[in-house]
Structure 1
Amino acid sequence: MDQVHITEVVLRDGLQDEQLTVPTHEKLRLARGLVDAGVRSLEVGSFVSKRRVPRMADTDEVVAALAGTPATIHALVFTERGAELAVAAGARSVRLVVSASDGHSTANAGVPTEEALARLASCVLVLSAAGVAVEASVATAFVCPFDGDTPVSRVVSVVRRLQSMGIGLVHLADTIGAATPGRLRRTVSAVRSACGVELGLHLHNTYGAAAANVWEALGLGIRRFDAALGGIGGCPFAPGASGNIATDDLVHLLHREGIATGIDVAKLAALRDEVAIAVGHRLGSALAAVPAVPAALA
């Protein structure tokens, strides 16, 4: 049976743009519930400005509290200062983030892409010296809300720079959910031809194409996907960004196609209800709208 690796990002991407602040103890309870459901990779926060992204202000506490959890615990880093904070919190795995487009990079990181890449090189030195595992995510790898379609050559150039820093796993992010299967295929194929890195995908479902993009990606051999329980999430610095592909929908689809994830859909459903209570609104996944999934389809 085929196997797909899912990184659950509800605690970071899912919560960072919500109106309500979820208490640290509730985040930890959800994290442990997700691990119990079979999730083996969790993105739990970001070491960024507490003023700009207040929902992530407790990332150091969350990372420290989850030490020893039987899952890989990731946090995002943009700057050398963030890398130092990650090391101080005891992070063992970090995902560096850079935008392929200057417009989003300036809005998200405060500097154009080239300068952001230079910052990441410094981050790698700090993290590697501390023995922290490093991977990367390329935001706006397909479409930018400020600059429009991202040229494939631009994405290739950014991934090459990340590879030159010694990063072997890169996630291409559809930050505003505007990618199509054809654009995804062209970008992934070009990066694969030019770079020797493993690729994953971070997909949003703004225009309802996330499942189609997953199917296209599977055909291209990609086996790593980010997803957020209930389909919540969005980028505070990307106008028009909407929720991530929902973990519950993604796992259900993969299991129906005979593709293993190691994740228990029934346990996800119970946790999804807890997330809805925590954020104070209904969630956007398709399964959240189904009263009960028939046993034959579970």
Structure 2
Amino acid sequence: MNGMPDQVLITEVLLRDGLQMEPVIVPTDDKLRLAYGFLKAGVTSLEIGSFVHPDKVPQMADTDRLATELCAGEAASLHALVFNEKGARRALEAGVRHVRLIVSASDGHSRANAGLPTRQALDRLRPAAEALTDAKVQLEATIATAFVCPFDGETPPGRVVDTAHRLAGLGVSALHLGDTIGAASPWHIRRTVTAVQDELRDMPLGLHLHNTYGMASANVWEALHLGIRRFDAALGGVGGCPFAPGAAGNIATDDLVNLCHHAGIATGIDVDQLVALRDELHALLGRKLDSALAAVPAAPAPLRVTALSDIP
């Protein structure tokens, strides 16, 4: 297929984005067991939490402990989210070597999420970026509400491009465009991704997709044709944003791996081990999961393409 990548990098975001909205606070030991399970399944990029105030997001109160234990024997890219310099300092103290900054392209969501409009939120990130860069931490960034905002409506591509340029100026090595409320269509994906690609030709781009309207897989397919090879996903399709009304879960890792493998695109992730982890997650959360594969337990086994050598 013309323009399609032969492999993709999937960042598993269950431990952060997946759990931050759950009414059940998963114990740290269970989070650690899930993390090690993901690594065993072949996940090479794992988001382990966010350094935010525990009163705002109590599900993330143990990020320091998770980071300290997991990063000590790091065998993969273990990411944490920070919003300000204080969070950056905490991440450094915990030994985190891969950090994502996050800023909203729309002022409405930025005020709800960070307490400031976009420009001021970016200014507040500068000391955090400088501290992390000085410590030689790999710095990436996510642009939230890159397509649609729950407060401001559709986000003009120009705002995303401007935000991307400013983040590039902070020294980030990759950018991820977020469909925070899952309202984007393939048309939105093409319009905004191509706008950013045209302006920042050497910047690796990824997508962070939610599945509120069932469009996430279609958006992945569009992005693959645009050459995008980095995607965030959460096992079972869990997740959401506490500061974005109406946001549903992330695109499910199991569904995304299934889609890629049927298209002959390698992910490096073992499907059988992923399904076993999904069953464990179901028991921990005590509710039905949102992935398509979880809803059809008798479905045919997905094609198991895990490495380039496996592609016909």
Q: Do they fold alike, i.e. is TM over 0.5?
A: yes
Q: TM-score range by the shorter chain?
A: over 0.9
Sequence identity of aligned pairs in percent? 64
Aligned amino acid, residue 171 of structure 2: G
Cα distance between partner residues in 2 of 1:218 and 1:20: 35
Q: Equivalents in 2 of 1:142, 1:129: separation in Å?
A: 32
Secondary structure at the aligned position of 2:56 is classed as coil
* 1:86-140, Cα deviation, whole Å (9 max, x unpaired): 0011101000000001110111111111111011111111111122110000000
2:144–2:180: 8 Å Cα contact kept in structure 1? yes
Aligned mate of 2:211, from 192, 205, 208: 205
May I ask how many residue pairs the two structures share in their alignment? 298
Which runs of structure 2 are paired with 1:97-136 in the superposition (5 Å)?
97-136=102-141
**Matched AA of 1:224:** R
Query: Take 1:265 and 1:286, find their aligned partners in 2: how far apart are those partners?
Result: 14
Aligned twin of 1:257: 263
TM-score (norm. length: structure 2) = 0.94
Off by >3 Å, runs of 4+ in structure 1 = 295-298
Cα 1:294/1:101, change in 2 over 3 Å: same
- Kindly state the Cα deviation for residue 293 of structure 1 after the two structures are TM-superposed: 3.8
Instruction: Identify unmatched segments of 5+ residues in structure 2.
Output: 305-312
Counterpart residue identity of residue 134, structure 2? A
- Other-structure match for 1:2: 6
RMSD: 1.1
* Cα distance, 1:296–1:169 mapped onto 2, change above 3 Å: closer
Amino acid at match of 1:282: K
Provide the C-alpha distance between the structure 1 equivalents of 2:20 and 2:302, rounded to a whole number of angstroms.
36
1:259-285 Cα distance to aligned partner (Å, 9 max, x none): 000001111111001111111211000
Distance verdict in 2 for CA 1:295–1:145, change over 3 Å: closer
Q: Residue in 1 aligned with 2:239?
A: 233
- Deviation of 1:297 (Å): 4.8
Could you say which residue in structure 2 is the equivalent of 1:41?
45
| Structure 1 spans left out of the alignment, 5+ residues | none
Normalised by the length of structure 1, the TM-score is 0.98
Q: Secondary structure at the match of 1:118?
A: helix
* Equivalent AA in structure 1 for residue 76 of structure 2: A
